[in-house]
Copies of this chain bind each other. A is one copy, B any other.
Amino acid sequence: MLKVGIVGGTGYTGVELLRLLAQHPGVELKAITSRSEAGMPVAQMFPNLRGHVDLAFSEPSVEALGACDVVFFATPHGVAMKQTPELVERGVRVIDLGADFRIADPAVFEKWYGLPHSCTDMLAEAVYGLPEVNREAIRKARVIANPGCYPTAVQLGFLPLLKAGLVDVKHLVADAKSGVSGAGRKAEVHTLFSEAAESFRAYGVAGHRHLPEISQGLARMTTGSVGLTFVPHLLPMIRGIHATLYATLKAESGDLQKLYEETFAGEPFVDVMPAGSLPETRSVKGANTCRIAVYRPQGGDTVVVLSVIDNLVKGAAGQAVQNMNIMFGLPETTGLGQIALLP
């Protein structure tokens, strides 16, 4: 049994990790820390866990966490980069669900996240935890940068096109829509029910922190830099991301459906749907699956890709567990067999 710790378990990523790990046959939850809630039983804050998780939140402690095989950070950026080195030193492997190790260039990190990177050696070593791209490196990694939610949906959607070199990489468009849980469990006016229900709007049009992460990922799939316009929107629902991707074909493309199916053949958590399908976010609600459909409307030179995930699962906690499975040599799907809740 893997001994597992979680730092910062009071947010939605934390409770989702707990839901998945409590049902995972190969792990033992050893500690879940929260400075502000230390002492409170986890199931008091999240009553869905009553009868499933007996732990209480505890004060962060290097001793307790250092005795784990793997520690997940479900914290705002800036926390993991401080605490990771001493855990790694003690032989703990770290999976950061935050942003600290996602951006390879410390200057770019500082620009978008507003603080200097304090752990650049770990940053250099960290592996970007998108299994469909980096599976081999993940196996041996000591530190995993678990991808952001939008970046997961967008990169998986563009991957076949960019690997095959089919499209104009200078004019990629990602029109992405996320449920409100992506904004976390912070008390803020703009995510109140009465603000976010029965309405829809874009945000971060001038620049969103996931833009450099996505651009970096896409650039790695091709040669040279990419030009990406990324417009996120807030959906009046709790869970789910739908990325609608647009790219212009440079030449005749061949059979795009086949390209997508072949690219993801064997991937346990990417489902290329039959031609003509319309992926619904609810088809992955609670599941670690990315479903994708590809179109070429009116036979023109614009490719449209539809890519859906549950932002809290394949876009966060589920992908983190997938990375853990890979790191520790467990079957990749262990503990991730949940079927999406529909309706």
| Neighbour of A233 across the interface among B177, B229, B231, B238, CB < 8 A | B177
Which residue in chain B gives the minimum CB-CB distance to A196? Answer: B193
User: Which residues on B sit within 8 Å (CB–CB) of A48?
Assistant: 282-285, 287, 339-342
CA distance A47 to B293 in the complex (A): 13
User: Which residues on B sit within 8 Å (CB–CB) of A23?
Assistant: 337-339
User: Which residues on B sit within 8 Å (CB–CB) of A52?
Assistant: 337, 339
Q: Is there an interface contact between B244 and A202, defined as CB atoms closer than 8 Å? A: yes
Interface residues of A, count at CB 8 A = 88
Check if A181 is an interface residue, CB within 8 A of chain B. Answer: yes
User: Which residues on B sit within 8 Å (CB–CB) of A19?
Assistant: 339, 341-342
Sample of 12 A–B contacts (CB below 8 Å): A47-B277, A52-B337, A173-B246, A193-B196, A198-B285, A199-B240, A200-B281, A202-B306, A227-B302, A229-B246, A239-B343, A286-B286
| Neighbour of A297 across the interface among B194, B205, B287, CB < 8 A | B205
> How many copies of the chain does the oligomer comprise?
4
User: Which residues on B sit within 8 Å (CB–CB) of A239?
Assistant: 198, 341, 343
Mark interface residues in A67-108 (1 if CB within 8 Å of B CB, else 0). Answer: 000000000000000000000000000000000000000000
Tell me the A224-253 residues at the B interface (CB within 8 Å).
227, 229-231, 233, 235-240, 242, 244, 246, 248
| Neighbour of A12 across the interface among B175, B194, B273, B295, CB < 8 A | B194
Check if A201 is an interface residue, CB within 8 A of chain B. Answer: yes
Q: Could you say which of A1-9, A30-38, A127-135, A184-192 contacts chain B?
A: A184-192
Q: Is there an interface contact between B205 and A304, defined as CB atoms closer than 8 Å? A: yes
Give the most central of A50, A171, A283: most B CB within 10 Å.
A50
Check if A278 is an interface residue, CB within 8 A of chain B. Answer: yes
User: Which residues on B sit within 8 Å (CB–CB) of A315?
Assistant: none
User: Which residues on B sit within 8 Å (CB–CB) of A235?
Assistant: 200, 235-236
Check if A332 is an interface residue, CB within 8 A of chain B. Answer: no
Q: In angstroms, how far is the closest chain B Cβ from the Cβ of A39?
A: 16
User: Which residues on B sit within 8 Å (CB–CB) of A298?
Assistant: 206-207
Task: Using known A-B contacts A236-B237, A273-B47, determine if residue A191 contacts B188 with beta carbons closer than 8 Å.
Answer: no
Tell me the A243-297 residues at the B interface (CB within 8 Å).
244, 246, 248, 271, 273, 276-287, 289, 291, 293, 295, 297
Check if A15 is an interface residue, CB within 8 A of chain B. Answer: yes
| Neighbour of A295 across the interface among B180, B206, B341, CB < 8 A | B206
Q: Is there an interface contact between B202 and A300, defined as CB atoms closer than 8 Å? A: no
Check if A197 is an interface residue, CB within 8 A of chain B. Answer: yes
User: Which residues on B sit within 8 Å (CB–CB) of A276?
Assistant: 206
Q: In angstroms, how far is the closest chain B Cβ from the Cβ of A195?
A: 7
Check if A112 is an interface residue, CB within 8 A of chain B. Answer: no
CA distance A187 to B238 in the complex (A): 18
Check if A51 is an interface residue, CB within 8 A of chain B. Answer: yes
Check if A113 is an interface residue, CB within 8 A of chain B. Answer: no
CA distance A200 to B205 in the complex (A): 21
Q: Is there an interface contact between A188 and B187, defined as CB atoms closer than 8 Å? A: yes
CA distance A67 to B175 in the complex (A): 50
CA distance A196 to B339 in the complex (A): 19
Q: Is there an interface contact between B236 and A236, defined as CB atoms closer than 8 Å? A: yes
User: Which residues on B sit within 8 Å (CB–CB) of A47?
Assistant: 273, 277, 279-280, 283, 291, 342
CA distance A183 to B343 in the complex (A): 12
